[in-house]
Structure 1
Amino acid sequence: MTVVASIPNRASLWAALLLSGLCAGAGLFLALHYPLSAPAAVGVWLAVALAALRWWPRTPALLLGLLPIVGFAPWSGWISFEELDLLVLACAAGGYAGVALRLAPQQERAPAWRHMLVYSPLVLLLLTLFGASLLLALQRGIADAGGFVFGWYQGYHEPMNSLRLSKSFFLVALLLPLWKQAGASRPGELSRALLWGMVLALAGCCLAAIWERHAFTGLLDFSTDYRSTALFWEMHVGGAALDGCLALTAPFAVLALLRARTPAQFMAMMLLAMLTAYVCLTTFSRGVYLAVPLGLATLVLLRGGQRRRAIRVAGANTAPLMSVPPAAKLGGLLLAAAFVGAAALMFGSSGYRGLLALLGAMLVLLIMPASLWLPSTGQRVTAVLAGGALAALLSGACLALSMAVPKAAYATYLLALACALFLRWRDKPGQAQPIHACLLTASWFWLLAGVVTVADYWGGPIARWDAFRPLLLLTLLWPLMLMRPALWPFKAQGIPGWRDRGLLFGGLLLAASVISALAGGAYLRDRVSNWRQDLQVRFDHWNEGLAMLQTPQDWLLGKGAGRFVANHFFTGPAAQHTGDYRLKSGTDGRFYLVLSGGKHVLGYGELFRVSQRIAPPQGEVLLRARVRATQDVSLQAEICERHLLYIQNCLGGVLGAKAKPGEWQELSLPLGRAPAMGGAWYAPRLISFAIAMNQPGSVAEIAALRLSDVSGRELLANADFSDGMAHWFFSSDRHHLPWHAKSLGLHVLLEQGLIGVALLTLLVLLALWRLSFGRGREHVLAPALVASLLGFLAVGLFDSLIDAPRIGFMFYALLGVGLGLRALPGAVVEKAG
């Protein structure tokens, strides 16, 4: 499409151009102060802004798709401002400029009745009131922190934290008019951008989590106490940012899977669904285990309602929709139940090899061709009997070979699998082939026997009998369905064969992953079994939070945005106080770090650490520090392989400083010879240096930290804090409760009071009503939006969520879209997909 621009000719277009300029100014100002590389930040910012200028109706895809992977605080040290702000300002600057200049996508403006986003006066009033409540919370939070003081690197106790936790809603409010305009001129394009933006967000989130698992634990380790964080730096003090992202994005991926039109799209989305299932399992989060199934069940129910209404509205003129007879549903349930039972009984003794062999056999069963039902009943009975006899001979020979030749069990299984796939490929659709039916049946029976052989080779006689009994029942299923064609689940009218088979096989893969996680990992079982104790801990913590509200004004208006951590520090139990840091300036104008230790039990994993990403050290490593203390202090210094919360393969020591008030001490600590660090190139392990106070309640001042290896390289950037906390980051690895309200409702109550809770509740209920029963329910995105919001709220029962700005942005974005979404005329008539 040729891009055509024109000078604004209306006040609204000039206003859009002015807003674009303001966003450009703010965005470039932030980019010029980016700690890692200002020139690179400016270049990337301009590229994003130009992309938004050219394709402004698609900004949701660009923005939402990048959110999970654009958090570089552990490298930059930024937390008050972050890449989210740069990305939103770039999209807003380019997008509003595209609207003002009336580029090509704007020229084909749809009539009012075709607009996708329409906001009622009530919704606009509630959004305005909620924004006002947030502004008041921002003002109260800054006042509670002692007044506004600007700083690029302030922590959670300082006034900039109020801005950090308030900005997500206002960033969404900045973009909603742009998206509303896109919904007026390109409603279909905006819908696709929202859908694929969320799908891309999930893909980025999953790939990051899988890299993390591969690098630091291994993909099949379900016993290590390691919970994935992906690239959500906001989890450096615990929290549920990853959980919230999964709950918000998973329904959109399933919707895209259900709407896939080609085998390639279907396979891509099925792969993403399997990756999502794995990542959900390895969060070890009971909130995710509740929220994601709840959201997906809601999605299926609402989408089913859409399809039933499509049939009623369009009648015979509608393309055939999914129609699965009851007997076929029963057959599908029998197949799934037989697999789940067999996998559950086998996995303990056969392990992953037995499970993979069973999955291969099920794959062959699910792709059995329809031509097998064309021979007469007698011919099918003969095929089963003759095929069983042939399979028995082949299986006996393979079993004997596996006992005599090492690993022959795997080779014979692969041979049986190859034969089955070859016979399936040689099928002649529409032709009755009794001999072919016999051979294909024999190959599948042979393959099932191969599963037993693999189990026996891996786990011995116990595994053989654990596999034999359930597989004997599974063996009977195929003859049953061959004799009773109505039970075969893949005859639904209007559904391509690859589609329903793929969905069922995907369900079997999901079941296999759950079984392997539960049976193969003690940590997951412990997490599930300890829910009562953990819930009581949550109740106690929530009571501590409610105790912060000491006046009627606190209950009505809250304590202020971003003030939970500070208020918990002063009102919560002293035994839970965490460590902290402050960046201060001396009389000479130079910065120094004030580091304090927490008052809780300071186990090695519970230390409050200030850290920096570094390159792998080589040889002997030396730490030099300039420290001042009013009491004897002990500092833990370490170099570890570490992503965010968990450390391994460490090199470290203790740096002691004597009590010398007002006097800087030059200290050095040989850390020893560095081990090999970094991991494989395809799954690198990140390396960080960290310093921590390992005495409860003690305080030290640090003016410089210099780290060098045998080559003389200085491994630390900004070692003297002359650039503030640039490149430095902090974490509280395992002591998380004092950092979060641990409930979405309680978080809003503490920050905005009952007024904020009431307004947000009304907005959520209005969105859910509109999408489930109102004018938006027939929109293709409505089921996914409802599922996302409900899943998010389910996670929010036990975690704050919106205290992570990127997750807050995603939530407010979907809420804003849901409040105005309107189905276009004819949207209810939809082809099966």
Structure 2
Amino acid sequence: MFFYLALKRSVHVGRIGTQTIVLVLVSILLAAAFSGARINIRAETSERDLDTRLSHWQSIIESGNWNGLNIFFGHGLGSMPANYALSGAAKLEKIGTFAIDKDKSILKIVPGSDLMLTQRLEADSQGAYLLEISYQANEEVNIEVGLCRRNMIIFEFWAHGCGNIERRALPITVESESRRFIVGLTATKDGLYSLPAALTIKTTTGSAPLSIESISLLNTYGQELLRNGNFSEGLDFWFYYYDFEHLAWHIKNLYLSFAYQFGVVGSLLIFALITAAFIGFYKSEQLLSLPCAMFTAFLAGQFAFGIFGDPTDSARTGMWFFFMLFGAMGPATSLARRESQVNV
């Protein structure tokens, strides 16, 4: 009897310890997933930009092709940016856009307020760099170039300073002739925890496209630091950013995102998955368990934030959304397995 009580007590303590460890680990993972700079900023400014959000959502709805097929099955995952741009709601002529002329290997940029072209490279603070841009322009275009430390993917700590930013006006070129823009650049100090170095190029004003034939960046040893500088491989190795004007690429509402991309059928399937998870918790008598509590809290946070943002639009938060959703199916799967064994 004593041995049985001791064993039962050890199992109980072990279960509590395991649940505590799981809760701590999940809390850390959720903190990492939801502590992104953009998420915090958006939560703080939700009230101030409500009018902007309502106008944006209306434009997204109007940009869609709401025929019977799209209503039931959605426009498709990731279809919103193209539809939004083609409808004219994105106002790309104001924020800037670009295209590659594959036949001539030329990058054509329509100047705007926020478009930035970058390429990651190896740079330090020990020497100077020589930038050369070969271009054609029918109108004068203002350009900003620099060597900056940037987080290339995630917005957090997105810019940690530049060596020097050169702002110049590119003169008009004679028809069918090219001109060269040459300027010296420096980089900020490179260290163990420094962000990657990147060449940044912005064309801020001008109504006519700027045609860039090639871009070259040399270090003090005369070594070329850029790859695909003549755009013969399209935009390979080049990144483009919109640091602030990002509504053209994001729906910013979880519910509208589901309806727009997945339609009625897809939205019902997601709802069915969530319902199945809770049914599994209920039938396996885990409705008041720690895993069910974590799952419920996670979904509540996702759908609450989803009023003014789309957590699944980010790779990190999207992964955790579906990871937790399918992970919660465990009780239902285990219950079905036990029932099948009993029936056998």
Given the two structures, how large is their TM-score scaled by the length of structure 1? Answer: 0.33
Rg bigger for which structure?
1
Determine whether 1:535 maps to 2:50. yes
Amino acid at match of 1:595: I
Query: Which whole-Å deviations, capped at 9, do the CAs of 1:213-269 have from their partners, x for residues lacking one?
Result: xxxxxxxxxxxxxxxxxxxxxxxxxxxxxxxxxxxxxxxxxx988524xxxx99xx5
Identity of aligned residues (%): 21
| Contact 1:652 1:671 (C-alpha < 8 Å) held by counterparts | no
User: Is the aligned partner of 1:703 residue 2:233?
Assistant: no
Q: Is the 8 A contact 1:633 1:700 kept in 2?
A: yes
> 1:764 corresponds to which residue?
274
Q: Any idea what SS the aligned residue of 1:784 has?
A: helix
Cα RMSD, aligned residues only: 3.6
Match of 1:259 among 20, 26, 29: 20
Please, which runs of 5 or more residues in structure 2 have no aligned partner?
Answer: 1-15, 153-157, 336-344
Residue of structure 1 in register with 2:189 after alignment: 677
1:777 and 2:291 aligned: no
* Alpha-carbon distance in structure 2 between the residues aligned to 1:274 and 1:550: 41
Partner of 1:612 in structure 2? 119
* Alignment-derived partner of residue 639 in structure 1: 147
Question: Residue 728 of structure 1: which of 214, 223, 238 is its match?
Answer: 238
- Which structure 1 residue ranges, 5 or more long, are not aligned? 1-254, 290-526, 826-833
Q: 1:581 to 1:768 in 2, by over 3 A?
A: farther
Aligned twin of 2:103: 586
Q: How does 1:539-550 map to 2 (within 5 A)?
A: 539-549=54-64
Between the aligned partners of 1:288 and 1:633, the Cα distance in structure 2 is 33
Question: Which of the pair has the greater relative contact order for Cα pairs under 8 Å at 6+ separation?
Answer: 2
Q: 1:748 aligns with which of 258, 264, 273?
A: 258
Aligned to 1:123: none
Give the corresponding residue for 2:82.
566
Deviations 1:474-532 (A, max 9, x none): xxxxxxxxxxxxxxxxxxxxxxxxxxxxxxxxxxxxxxxxxxxxxxxxxxxxx3xx542
Q: 8 Å contact 1:641–1:677 — kept in the other structure? A: no
**1:600-643, CA deviations, whole angstroms, 9 ceiling, x for partnerless residues?**
xx2xxxx2111111222443322112223344333322211222
Query: In the alignment, which residue of structure 2 is the partner of 1:651?
Result: 164
- The 1:820–1:583 alpha-carbon spacing in structure 2 relative to 1, beyond 3 Å, is farther
* Aligned residue pairs, count: 310
Match of 1:629 among 126, 137, 154: 137
More displaced stretch, 802-811 vs 620-629: 802-811
Structure 2 CA distance for partners of 1:278 and 1:742, relative to 1, 3 Å:
closer
Q: What CA distance in whole angstroms lies between the structure 2 residues aligned with 1:812 and 1:274?
A: 17
Q: Secondary structure at the match of 2:274?
A: helix
Counting only pairs closer than 5 Å after superposition, residues 100-115 of structure 1 correspond to structure 2 as none
8 A Cα contact 2:140 2:206, kept in partner: no
Relative distance call for 1:694 and 1:787 in structure 2 (3 A) is: same
**What TM-score do you get using the length of structure 2 for normalisation?**
0.74
Where do 1:41-60 residues align within 5 Å? none
For residues 257 and 282 of structure 1, what CA distance do their matches in structure 2 show? 28
Structure 1 CA distance, aligned partners of 2:39 and 2:228?
Answer: 37
SS of aligned partner of 1:742: coil
- With over 3 angstroms needed to count, the CA separation of the structure-2 counterparts of 1:256 and 1:686, relative to structure 1, is farther
- Partners of 1:287 and 1:795 within 8 A in 2: no
Larger strand fraction of residues: 2
Provide the rounded CA distance (Å) in 2 between the counterparts of 1:720 and 1:776.
Answer: 64
1:297-696 equivalence runs, <5 A: 527=44, 530-549=45-64, 551-553=66-68, 554-569=70-85, 570-572=87-89, 574=91, 578-586=95-103, 591-598=105-112, 602=113, 607-617=114-124, 618-644=126-152, 645-646=158-159, 648-653=161-166, 654=168, 656-663=170-177, 665-672=178-185, 674=186, 676-678=188-190, 680-681=191-192, 683-695=193-205
Residue 566 (structure 1) shift: 2.2
How far is 1:692 from its partner? 2.0
Deviation, structure 1 residue 727: 2.1
CA deviation after TM superposition for structure 1 residue 746, in Å = 1.1
Residues in 1 aligned to 2:181 and 2:88: alpha-carbon distance in whole angstroms: 39
